[in-house]
Structure 1
Amino acid sequence: MGSPGKLVIIFLLLFLTITTAKKPFKFDYESFNKTYPAPDTLQFTEDTAVSQGALQITPDTSNSLETYRQNKSGRVVFQTPFKLWEGNVNSTAGKIASFNTSFGVNIYRVNNTSPGEGFAFIIAPDLNIPAQSYGQYLGLTNASTDGNWTNHLIAIELDTVRQEFDPDDNHMGLNINSIKSNKVVSLASQGIIIAPPKALNYTVWIQYNGTQKVIKVYMALQGKPMPKVPVLNESLNIGWYLNQYSYFGFSASTGNLIQLNCVLRWDLTVEILPEDNDRTWLKIGLVTGTSGLALLLVAAVGFYYFLHKGRPVNDPRIMGALRSLPGTPREFSFKDLRRATNNFDEKLKLGQGGFGIVYKGVLAKENNMEIAVKKFSRENIQGKDDFLAELTIINRLRHKHLVRLVGWCHKNGMLLLVYDYMPNGSLDNHLFGKQDKILSWDRRYKIISGVASAINYLHNEYDQKVVHRDLKASNIMLDSNYNARLGDFGLARALENEKTSYADIGGIPGTLGYIAPECFHTGKATRESDVYGFGAVVLEVVCGERPWTKIAGFQCVVDWVWMLHRENRIFEAVDERLGGDFNTEEAERLILLGLACSHPISGERPKPQTIVQIISGSVPPPYIPPFKPAFVWPVMEPTGDSSMTNTHDTTPMSSSYYGVSQESNTGYSDLYTV
């Protein structure tokens, strides 16, 4: 336990951490009316108002006189200021708050005339609006103050009128103390028209990372997921420009041209920095004398016992990372998730893997919404940096063939992750479990097509290269319409610098039968090894046999299928349970594709884009030699964007790896894993 003096110091430091830690401030206005939010929550200036379920930042349609709407400006600001920085913001000792916000916006052309002038999300030094800030000044500045460093203002503008310093009349800009944007992006190339002839609602996401000092802004049609690539992505030290205490809100303006500037919904999360008086307890504690020291020692011993013997405490790093996740995941209360799963009833258990247990849950308060709850204890989370990095990857993935992360809960050292519930379970269960009906050929083909689309997204379409590393049938879930949803990103890695392998930690991940042969020698996974795993899944779905099945004297399914291909008997490989009810052209296409993806030489495997085209029938499958080529080692490392040196473990896989499971999963076993 150590000396009493050391223990007291440790206790003081721990108590300081716990006492000063604060939850981020959050609010979420799903709509607006005259009584919601409370009148003293938002500050309205000029002709702003709540009308038609929205914040009208400039006059709305209630006045028929067009001239009434001209040359107007307005602001709506949250009345409580936030402490956004402390200390020396140019040094590591300084601290800058992170924040995330999203809002719905509608910029409406009145009588289908040309729109003007613009709308902005603002961080301002006070609740006031400058005089004569209409027209090009967007309610931000005016002719005499524009560009002054004393403005202490940052804004993200949506501008609908072109000035001499603008690229066009449909752009987004990052503005600092001026209407002249420090960074501007034309939105035409993004497929976005701020104020189209037929009104459209948009969602804007703004994410600021106070540690990295980077701001990212995304924009999409309402109802669409947050895009994978931000419209704006800029380095920004807000401590250089903003008052230490600043306000969040919106501003807008009209000129001779008019538009309606409507905010339909708004949520905001701001990291709370400690106030100076939060630390005064330490001064008191240090002057309490001997009796105070004795009291602290007793408390420290009790705290030590609690830490090691009692209930676990929350990890502040995990809590902070979870609460700063970009996008839409929400924090669930432990009570609600416990109630949803009937106190984690074994009868609701969907599966169990190496990282925890998955339960089905029903949120009664939310129209009996069905969810899948992944429960794993603090001991399951090894390597927190890797865990948090991977969780960030999962959170931002948005694709119709990926299982979606809905939210999270972290309580008493227990982490719960909440995902969309997949009512039809896993592909593995439909192929090999006790099912009343055999999975039809049409559904099998549709599932393979969906998985191929997901892999192409991970490898090529997401803004980072993501290698899944554990493609198998038990990690492919089926929604109510039997659409494939790829899950289990517990082994996933984002690959940077256009390189496609990763520095693995702790040996080769995956499941025997799905692992490419080169992985046993390199200790690395690549996009090519993901393709190999996909090939194993393709043959598994077509043949109705697990990859490692010994069949007709062969040690694995792929060798058996290759023999059938050589002897022009490939249709004998199709699952006999289908009773011949399958499309022969599609079957031949998938079998040849499965063999191509299973090529022992990684460079000979097709790319995901080609795989998608083969499945769609737009291009033919590649030539497959009659005899399976031999795996040769060493092979040439892939070049260009296909390699990264394994800096953690360059040794071949040890023989103990062969203890990897060849499980007969019944669904949800390792799915939803982080």
Structure 2
Amino acid sequence: MAACFLVLLLLLVFLASPASSTTTTTSLATNGSPAAGSNNATTFSFAGFHPDLRNVNLTVAGDASITKDALQITPDSLNDAADFLVNKSGRVLFSRPFRLWRPLNATTTNNGTTTAAKNKKQLASFTTVFTVNVFTDPNTDPAEGIAFLIAPSSSDPPTGSHGGFLGLTTAATDGNATNGIVAVELDTEKQPHDPDDNHVGLNVNSVVSVLTASLTPHGIEISPPSRAAKYNVWVDYDGNARRIAVYMADIEKQPLQKPSKPVLAAPLDLGEVVAERSYFGFSASTGTKYQLNCVLAWNMTVEKLDEDEDDDANVTEPSKKKSLALGLAVGVSVGVLALFAGAAALGYYYMCVVKRQKTELVQGGDGGSGITGTMIRSMAGGPREFEYRELRKATNNFDERMKLGQGGYGVVYRGVVAEDPLANPGNGGGAGSTVEVAVKKFSRASTQGQNDFLAELSIINRLRHRNLVRLVGWSHDNGELLLVYEYMPNGSLDQHLFSLPSPSPGGRQPLGWELRYTIIQGVASALHYLHDQYDQRVVHRDLKASNIMLDAAFTARLGDFGLARAIDTDKTSYTEEVAGGVHGTVGYIAPECFHTEKATRESDVYAFGAVILEVVCGRRPRCDVEGFHFLVDWVWRLHRDGRAIEAVDPRLEGEFDEDDAERLLMLGLACSHPTPSERPKAQAILQILLRAMLPPQVPPFKPSFVWPATTSMGFDTMSTTAETTSSQVSTVVTSTSTWSGNLARAPE
């Protein structure tokens, strides 16, 4: 630790020394006030990029990733280009927005009188410098480009924004004023509106630049064929003059010096284009031709407007006070040398100090509450922060009569809170309007409790799907950990499946067939989103009927992400690092989990199969029926005898569609296959439920569970008969991994 501070002290002394004669100064000062080195500016620096920054300081969306100490805005892969490099788009954004303008309601003249200032705005100035590397395979042509982006949200790039749309817009939305985006593009593909295939452009709500400039006269080639060029790019915005300027220099030729002349400069009124609070970051795309778009370092300083709150904005690291005290938030006036020296210091500080803080958090060290709060506030989308006393009042001091449910991770209470007008603008709710919520109070305000709290919050904070329970906010006061969700007035699915019918008006009634089918479709859609459509693969790990909630319209909402974990796209499973053992609920746990203690998408599918059978049959997965202890075994026996339809819930009194019932029962058995690789993927499951695909062929006898599994490709590969080699079959004692492999020797 002493070595860390010694290095930082030496860097601080160096930064305090006069700038060299080659340093170009750029001032952010407005109205005579200092732009940095005080509370009037926010600075963050990344000397490199570690995967741990994902979902903490950086939002990674679309086809982007953080690997090899860089932001890979489009994929970097040695796999087949047609599948992994072509027609991709990605974004990486700083995880919290910045206030870029504010309305001015009045002005004061020299004589002290106040006059109206209708439609006038104060704009924030900013400056950024980043190192970019665009690499093209010598055997291909480069395309499409990379852009520095100002966006209204941290959402994924729009669907269809690959090719020439740079991950910014689509053919349907290009040019719309509602896009609210500004970008500085480095383009390597000539479109009809471009001067050439090596230019910089200013984009406002469109990929058709309002101003372009060829980089060839400046001796700059974005993606030269003979080498992997690295460039420093400066983007300066003067809020007073409402003007943007872009500078660019080859690191090999000008390692630290900012050019005296910009490659592009133009008037730009951000107050007329972007959202008041907007995100900074990068966007890129590939088309039929492709290139690797990498950002290697990034430093940025943004002016704080007069009425901005000091809201932990220096959040390159969770400890704002230490970074400020060490003088790392340096002013842009010291030039590029100081910027990158500060970035290096901050990077070293991250390694020495912050990682220790994270370790202390896991170990339950002092200050964990503060670190947790800072980490949450830095998350993209900024979930609403509640005061503990507000939630205590909302739940009538956590009254037992307000309890909605209880699990291993805490108790859930019903509550009523004041509605957040910023979260639902234009919904008609005025001052004093309230909204019902479900407050999850973690039962372990300790080491593991904090880990569970952060894990659940970090995942669900950015999930956006109609079949997922929406997060409303959080609270971390007085050692209490609380998450606030939207209230589900119809409770959970299991309550409707297994509670006795109520004769009273409005009482709980058995679910009809159509509603059951729709609920299963909704859960399948949520599972497909988690497994395939979110920017990370998410395994839920506790999919069961009691975690499927029903809103006022009986729409299925998958909830309780206390066990959920995100896994990197190049991995297939998640292993619990803190505490071993199998997580989940008996009857929903896939058999291989008892051997591997790993969660996979296939184990989620197994649990979903149990849910399907539970909903169709009206019985719990773990039940005693006709000599069987598990529902799946009973249904498989009925299927063998050609009587699967008899498994349908008798409480439906025959009011169901037999074709759909057969479809669901076969799908439920397919998802329950003992071999992980034989289970259908979430996308195929959804297609089957939408009646766009035939249900899978299920063998009449339940295959035996074999471990290790016969496929050598891992859980994340759908095996076929052709993939099962003779050497694999020879190692199997009781079965093979194909659907028909157990017919000959399955037990009666």
Query: Is 2:542 the partner of 1:470?
Result: yes
Question: Is the contact between residue 476 and residue 486 of structure 1 (CA under 8 Å) also seen in structure 2?
Answer: yes
Q: Within 1, Cα distance between the matches of 2:176 and 2:492? A: 51
Q: Distance in 2 between matches of 1:316 and 1:357?
A: 23
Which residue of structure 2 aligns with residue 343 of structure 1? 397
Give the equivalent residue in structure 2 for 1:176.
235
Instruction: Quote the residue 1:316 is aligned against.
Output: 370
TM-superposed deviation, 1:524: 1.3
**Aligned-pair distance for 1:202?**
8.3
Cα displacement (A) at 1:322: 1.0
Describe the superposition over 1:74-112 as per-residue Cα deviations: whole angstroms up to 9, x where unpaired: xx3259x99x99xxxxxxxxxxxxxx99579xxxxxxxx
Change (3 A) 1:484 1:175: farther
1:513-532 matches, cutoff 5 A: 513-532=587-606
SS at match of 1:439: coil
**How far apart, CA to CA, are the structure 1 residues paired with 2:642 and 2:203?**
63
Give the aligned partner of residue 413 of structure 1. 479
**Preserved contact between residue 101 and residue 268 of structure 1 (Cα < 8 Å):** no
- Name the aligned partner's letter for residue 543 of structure 1: C
Shift of 1:270: 1.8
- Percent identical pairs in the alignment equals 49
User: Residues 139-178 of structure 1: matches in 2 within 5 Å?
Assistant: 158=205, 161-165=209-213, 176-177=235-236
2:660 aligned with 1:577, yes or no? no
Cα deviation, 1:591-644, whole Å, max 9, x if unaligned, reads: 01001111111111111111011111111111111111111122135626828x
Q: Does 1:77 align with 2:123?
A: yes
Q: Which runs of 5+ in 2 are unaligned?
A: 1-38, 43-95, 109-115, 130-149, 155-174, 185-199, 216-232, 237-243, 250-271, 285-291, 328-365, 421-432, 503-508, 718-748
Instruction: Classify the secondary structure of the residue corresponding to 2:472.
Output: strand
Matches within 5 A, 1:283-298: none
* 1:388 Cα offset (Å): 3.0
Amino acid at match of 2:209: V
Query: Are 1:597 and 2:671 an aligned pair?
Result: yes
Q: Tell me the equivalent position of 1:429.
A: 495
Whether the 8 Å CA contact 1:532–1:598 is kept in 2: the answer is yes
The answer to whether the 8 Å contact 2:204/2:210 transfers is no
Task: Describe the shift of the 1:389–1:472 C-alpha distance in structure 2 as closer, same or farther (beyond 3 A).
Answer: closer
Matches within 5 A, 1:613-628: 613-628=687-702
| 2:448 matches 1:382 | yes
Partner of 2:458: 392
Rounded to whole Å, the distance in 2 between the matches of 1:628 and 1:376 is: 40
Corresponding residue of 2:349 = none
Displacement of 1:434: 3.5
Question: 1:417 Cα deviation (Å)?
Answer: 0.7
One-letter code aligned to 1:578 = L
Contact 1:613–1:619, Cα closer than 8 Å, also in 2: yes
CA drift of 1:342 comes to 1.3
Compared CA separation, residues 33 and 497, structure 1 to 2 (3 A):
closer
C-alpha distance 640-335 of structure 1, shift in aligned 2 (>3 A): same
1:388/1:557 CA distance change after superposition, 3 Å: same
C-alpha distance in structure 2 between counterparts of 1:523 and 1:49, whole Å: 64
Per the TM alignment, residue 344 of structure 1 is displaced from its structure 2 partner at its CA by: 1.2
3-state DSSP class of the match of 1:560?
A: helix
The 1:28–1:374 alpha-carbon spacing in structure 2 relative to 1, beyond 3 Å, is farther
- Would you say 1:546 and 2:620 are equivalent positions? yes
Q: 2:535 is aligned with what amino acid?
A: D
**Pairing of 1:241-390 with structure 2 (within 5 A):** 242=300, 246-247=302-303, 270-271=313-314, 273-274=320-321, 315-364=369-418, 367-376=433-442, 379-382=445-448, 384=450, 388-390=454-456
Tell me, what secondary structure is at the counterpart of 2:475? Answer: strand
The AA in structure 2 aligned to 1:555 is: H
Map 1:417-566; keep pairs closer than 5 Å.
417-436=483-502, 437-505=509-577, 506-566=580-640
- C-alpha separation in 2, matches of 1:560 and 1:372: 37
Conservation of the 8 A alpha-carbon contact between 1:603 and 1:638:
no
Give the deviation of 1:29 after TM superposition.
Answer: 8.8
Partner SS for 1:419: strand
Q: Is this contact kept in 2: 1:27–1:269, CA < 8 A?
A: no
Pairwise mapping of residues 227-246 of structure 1 onto structure 2 (< 5 A)? 235=295, 237-239=297-299, 242=300, 246=302
Shift of 1:332: 1.2
Query: Cα 1:238–1:49, aligned 2, differ >3 Å: closer, same or farther?
Result: farther
For the residues of structure 2 that align with 1:380 and 1:433, how far apart are their CA atoms? 35
Task: Report Cα offsets for 1:397-428 as digits up to 9, x if no partner.
Answer: 11111111111111111111111111111001
Distance 1:579 1:533 in 2: 27
In the TM superposition, residue 497 of structure 1 has moved relative to its aligned partner by 4.0
Name the CA distance, whole Å, in 2 between partners of 1:504 and 1:567.
41
* Equivalent AA in structure 2 for residue 620 of structure 1: L
CA distance in 2, matches of 1:122, 1:268: 26
Per the TM alignment, residue 532 of structure 1 is displaced from its structure 2 partner at its CA by 0.6
Whether the aligned pair in 2 keeps the contact of 1:156 and 1:175 (CA below 8 Å) is: no
Contact 1:599 1:629 in 2 (8 A): yes
Please report the TM-score for the alignment, with normalisation by the length of structure 2: 0.52
> In structure 2, what is the equivalent of residue 307 of structure 1?
none
Q: How far off its partner does 1:372 sit?
A: 0.7
Letter in 1 for 2:375: A
Contact 1:327 1:396 in 2 (8 A): yes
Aligned-partner Cα distance in 2 for 1:641–1:49: 63
Q: Tell me if structure 1 keeps the 8 A contact 2:493–2:549.
A: yes
Give the deviation of 1:164 after TM superposition. 4.1
Look up the SS of the partner of 2:448 in the other structure: coil
CA separation of 1:156 and 1:274: change in aligned 2, threshold 3 A: farther
CA root-mean-square deviation:
4.6
Residue pair 1:452, 1:608 contacting (<8 A) in 2 also:
yes
Shift of 1:274: 3.5
Aligned residues: 447
Q: What do the CA deviations read for 1:264-295 (whole angstroms, capped 9, x no partner)? A: x9998723744999799xxxxxxxxxxxxxxx
Q: Deviations over 1:143-173 (max 9, x none)?
A: xxxx9xxxxxxx9965653544489xxxxxx
SS in 2 for 1:463: coil
2:225 corresponding residue in structure 1: none
1:58-69 counterparts in 2 under 5 A?
none
State the distance in 2 between where 1:338 and 1:49 align: 43
1:362 is displaced (CA, Å) by 0.7
Answer whether contact 1:545 1:557 (CA < 8 A) is retained. yes
Given the superposition, is the C-alpha separation of residues 482 and 610 from structure 1 closer, same or farther in structure 2, using an over 3 Å criterion? same
Q: Which runs of 5+ in 1 are unaligned?
A: 1-21, 41-47, 57-75, 86-99, 105-113, 124-146, 148-154, 168-173, 184-199, 209-214, 219-231, 250-264, 281-311, 644-674
CA contact (8 A) 2:610 2:672 kept: yes
User: What amino acid is the match of 2:303?
Assistant: Y
